[in-house]
Structure formats: C-alpha cells, structure tokens
Amino acid sequence: MTVPDIPLHIIQRGNNRLPCFFTEADYLVYLDMLRLSAQQAGCRVHAYVLMTNHVHLLVSPQSCSSPAIMMKALGERYVPYVNRRRSRTGTLWEGRYRSCLVQDAQYLFVCQRYIELNPVRAGMATHPLDYRWSSYQANAYGERNNIIEPHILYDALGAERLERELRYRALFEEEMPWEMVEQLRHATHQNAVFGSEEFIDQMAIASENDVMPRRRGPRQD
C-alpha cells in the first residue's frame, strides 16, 4: 500500500535469507542502481542500510506506483548483475518486498534510527558510524551522498547544516522506544501503517484499505 508523499519503510530479503551481497563491489553497484532506479521512479530516499542478506529503505514516493516501479527496476538491474558475477541463475530475493507507511514526527525518526542502527543490533558494528553501507554518515555527518534526499522533518531539525547534523546525532543517544520498534516491525511485515491510531484511520480512508496491523510475535530484522 502506498500513498503519495507519505514516507514508506521498505524491506527486501535474500531468498531463504541467503546473502545478496558478496563483495565490496556488489554494495557499490547496488547503491548506484538504487540511485538511478529511485530517480527514474520518483522516489526520494531518506535512509537506507544494506545488510548481508537484506536491505532497508525509507523513501517518499511521488505516486502510488513509484515504489513498485523502483523496486522492479532495481531487481531487473541487480539480479542479472549478481547472476553473471556468481555464475548462478534464478531469483535472488525472497518474493515481493514488504513495506509500511510511516507517520511524520517521532515515527519517522524512529524508523530512520531503526534502519541505521541495524548493523549495531546485528553485531556487525559498535556504532552506526562504523558501518559503511548505510545512510548514517550522510544524515549524521553530512558525508556526500548522491542518493539521500532529506525529509522535510530532517531539514526542520535546524536552520544550518551543522545544527541539523548535531541534533540528528543526538537522536541516537536516546534509548530506542522498543514498543514502537515492534509496532514498526509488525506494520512492515503486514504491509500496513506505522503511526498513531488517528494516522492509521487517515491512511485507511486515503487508500480505501484496512491498514490496521495485526499482532504478531517479535521479529528480528
């Protein structure tokens, strides 16, 4: 489910949770393909992380079809690349990507922190700054990145770039609201909505769908 200009959290896993990235070149190629696919589809990318066997993206779509177009183009570019490099055939991803709409305000930054802290939770880094394949360096320290387009709420963190970066880094010093994280995980798995009950009702009207996430057991993503 997609609503234009409403941020969308996307997760796509490797088939059978097998690796999707094998060398440094693979990460670099995927990011370049992501940049091109997002631009062509009309998706503004606010955050991302590339893990060994899955990816997280946070995007704002220009139209309802933008995310599907982006992910289809990305798959049509990246999967043949991996198959050629690894002398393999067939699918790389585990079916269709999963996603959820993300409310503004605190929900957006919970989602961004969740994405960029993924390597820390997985024990692959002690701090998000230590992990190369995420948007943290761009959002927190202004590292040049031709993929990231900050959300308007990020821009509202401060009048100057250094002020925004400082306040963004400060968010990572706060304890993660794990109840909200579980809500995010459930909503993403169900292709639903991450936000307040009022926002969920609004998105149900906007999309003409039942977007209430059903309860599930905890997930480790």
Phi and psi torsions of 184, nearest 5°: -65, -45
- What does the DSSP 8-state code read for residue 135? S
Calpha distance 124→126 (Å, rounded): 7
Amino acid identity, position 104: D
**Tally of CB atoms within 10 A around 120:** 17
3-class SS at 54? strand
- Summarised one tens digit per residue, pLDDT across range 110-155 is 999 999 999 999 999 999 999 999 999 999 999 999 999 999 999 9
Per-residue pLDDT, 214: 39
Which amino acid does the sequence have at 199?
A: F
The pLDDT value given to residue 212:
47
Averaged pLDDT, groups of 10, the chain, 221 residues long: 93 95 97 98 98 98 96 96 93 93 92 98 97 98 97 96 97 94 95 93 76 42 55
Supply the pLDDT for residue 101. Answer: 96
What are the φ and ψ backbone dihedral angles of 25, each rounded to 5 degrees? -60, -35
Chain centre to alpha carbon of residue 140: 16
Determine the 3-state secondary structure of 100 from DSSP. Answer: strand
